[in-house]
Structure 1
């Protein structure tokens, strides 16, 4: 994802400070969401041989904030990429003469 970001300057490579802030806000929001779900007994940590075994809190594996950071990164790269694509497409349409108009 970072290679795509670098190639097209979509998120971190467009504005690192804003991207860092947005990513941190996304992670904090979803961590609060997770802690609410854990507190209500909705979210439970399952057993897996792929988990590190490091637990940050009740039902909160180390992998969760890493996943949330990746989720935020992917979402913002897709969003900014789509916005850039649609903007470019709209510019191309507005700059080409309409067919049949003289």
Structure 2
């Protein structure tokens, strides 16, 4: 089913965004800075992908789940969506880890 991977990425990204906004983790806490970080991370990883494609390390596999739209040779449309999702997810997980560590620290200090 063409496009299923893009749909799965979009649904996953919306789920992470909902958790993020609900708990004010990344975009919910500082949207401007976090959007810049997501954009910079996505661009960095796209450049990394392009270098890998140019050197022959990365190639696009055939999958019926991809939409079939290539932004460049061996660079499917889904790739930048995945990279942006990965960057956002990393920021959310990092924010959660910081909160957990702060709560543990506060618990030890209270005891």
Q: Which has the larger radius of gyration?
A: 1
Task: Tell me how far 1:89 sits from its aligned partner.
Answer: 1.3
Unpaired runs of 5+ in structure 1?
97-102
Task: Tell me how far 1:4 sits from its aligned partner.
Answer: 1.3
The match for 2:43 is: 28
Asked if 1:14 corresponds to 2:42, the answer is: no
Q: Distance in 2 between matches of 1:7 and 1:86?
A: 20
Task: Tell me how far 1:6 sits from its aligned partner.
Answer: 1.6
How many aligned residue pairs are there?
96
Higher relative contact order (CA 8 A, sep 6+): 2
Unpaired runs of 5+ in structure 2?
1-15
User: What TM-score results when the alignment is normalised by the length of structure 1?
Assistant: 0.90
> Which structure 1 residue ranges, 4+ long, deviate > 6 Å from structure 2?
none
Task: Tell me how far 1:7 sits from its aligned partner.
Answer: 2.0
